[in-house]
Amino acid sequence: MRARGTLQIEYQGTKLDFSKYEMIDYTAKMNEFFGCNILDFDDVDVLRQKLVDEGMFPMDELEDLKSLATLVDYVYKRKIRDKIVQPTILYNYPTYMVPLARHNDKDDRCLDMYQLLVAGGELCKGYSELVNPIQQAQAFEDQAKSIAGGEEEAFNPDNDFVRAMEHGFPPISGVGLGIDRLAAIVFDQPTLRDIILFPIMK
């Protein structure tokens, strides 16, 4: 507000209102698009085939997506994210999306996590850290299976981390904010390169 003097600003010809925020249940939104409950699937091939059978994507566009996380995230980024313009908080993500995030107490298949989106871009992410060693070990095991299946973005298992967790972790939470993305919006710049402090890095 101090930088622009108002919470209603214009970014690349679009008026944004930071005085209010929309709320979107991520899982419910994805269920609406998929036409089913994505939490009911544990086989990426079955969910991929459903998208192909319903004519949403051709198989050759999805065949390299080796895990549920990458498949769901791909659909989200291609079909939903760019349509979110006004400041919006997304919450209630499936557990397989972030292996280090804490599971929700009411539904173990979802996470205590949120993201803030503005003009189709992810501005920040926050979540409660997973501190249960049993759940963390299982998450790493699932990631190892994804790696074996050819998933390049999966986490490598970290046994030392799990061992440390077994000795007791306090409740932890945190948030990461993309200062460059925020600055691009505040100063109405079309790309992140236009707000980098060191132009030689462009």
With CA atoms as reference, report the closest residue to 26 among 115, 118, 124: 115
pTM: 0.81
Domain ranges of the chain: 8-187
DSSP conformational letter for 7: S
- Measured between alpha carbons, how far is 167 from 63 in angstroms, rounded to an integer? 41
pLDDT tens, 92-118?
A: 999 999 888 888 999 999 998 999 999
pLDDT of 195 reads 82
Residue 64, token pair as written in the block: 């390299």
Least confident of 27-36, 93-102, 139-148, 150-159: 150-159
What average pLDDT does the structure give for the chain? 88
- Measured between alpha carbons, how far is 167 from 174 in angstroms, rounded to an integer? 21
pLDDT of 169 reads 82
The identity of residue 97, as a single letter, is M
Domain boundaries 8-187, corresponding CATH code: 3.30.930.10
Residue 147 has pLDDT above 80, yes or no: no
pLDDT tens, 50-59?
A: 999 999 999 9
- The pLDDT of 4-30, averaged and rounded, is 93
With CA atoms as reference, report the closest residue to 90 among 7, 182, 27: 27
Over the range 103-113, which residues count as b (16 or more CB within 10 Å of their CB) and which as e?
A: bbeeeeebbbb
Residues with Cβ within 8 Å of 171's Cβ and at least 6 positions away in sequence, in order, are: 128, 129, 131
Bridge partner list, 117:
88, 122
